[in-house]
């Protein structure tokens, strides 16, 4: 039986950066984000895992790029004008390629639900799902519709082995 992730019980305010990959909206803790940049020219690295897009030179630092579409097993698509790289600090700086970045939100931890057992991506990457309530009601069901944001545990998107491969290969 899979281990259930703890949910946050007290009503704390958190800040997240929200972004899209395909039709899904995700969020990560803003305190892990170092910068958000437009897509740059990527230098391919031979023999790297499929989801490692390559490396970029950002302010004199070589930063590996992880394509989250590929990492999550979603259909690839060409980069567009709104494609962004989110640079995060998890052991080292790593860039995550996303379809677009939406906004920074302040959210209440009381609106975070446990991750669903059936998810678009592997549940081990998910801290929970934030439900933002809306004032509008669905005319068919009478429910108050809201936006759902999948809260990623970005540090778990890569295994320890993958992080060490990236650290040793690109540092």
pTM: 0.82
CATH code of residue 56: 2.40.50.180
Q: Hey, what long-range contacts does 140-149 have (CB within 8 A, 24 or more apart)?
A: 147/25, 148/25, 149/16, 149/18, 149/25, 149/26, 149/27, 149/105, 149/107
Q: Is residue 17 part of a domain?
A: yes
Q: Is residue 21 part of a domain?
A: yes
Q: Is residue 8 part of a domain?
A: no
For the chain, what is the domain count?
1
Q: Is residue 1 part of a domain?
A: no
Q: Is residue 94 part of a domain?
A: yes
Q: What is the pLDDT of residues 28-72, one digit of tens each?
A: 999 999 999 999 999 998 888 889 999 999 999 999 999 999 988
Q: Is residue 4 part of a domain?
A: no
Q: What is the pLDDT of residues 133-156, one digit of tens each?
A: 765 454 444 445 678 899 999 888
Expressed as residue numbers, the domain containing 87 is 13-134+143-170
């Amino acid at each position: 039986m899979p281990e259930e992730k703890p949910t946050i019980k007290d009503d704390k305010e958190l800040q997240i950066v929200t972004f899209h990959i395909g039709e899904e909206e995700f969020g990560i803790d803003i305190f892990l984000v170092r910068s958000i940049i437009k897509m740059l020219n990527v230098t391919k690295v031979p023999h790297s895992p499929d989801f490692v897009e390559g490396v970029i030179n950002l302010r004199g630092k070589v930063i590996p790029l992880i394509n989250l579409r590929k990492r999550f097993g979603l259909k690839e698509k060409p980069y567009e004008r709104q494609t962004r790289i989110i640079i995060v600090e998890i052991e080292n700086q790593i860039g995550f390629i996303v379809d677009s970045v939406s906004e920074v939100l302040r959210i209440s931890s009381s609106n975070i639900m446990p991750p669903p057992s059936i998810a678009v991506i592997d549940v081990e990457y998910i801290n929970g799902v934030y439900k933002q309530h809306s004032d509008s009601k669905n005319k068919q069901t009478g429910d108050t519709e809201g936006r759902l944001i999948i809260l990623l545990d970005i540090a778990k998107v890569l295994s320890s082995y993958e992080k060490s491969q990236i650290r040793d290969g690109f540092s």
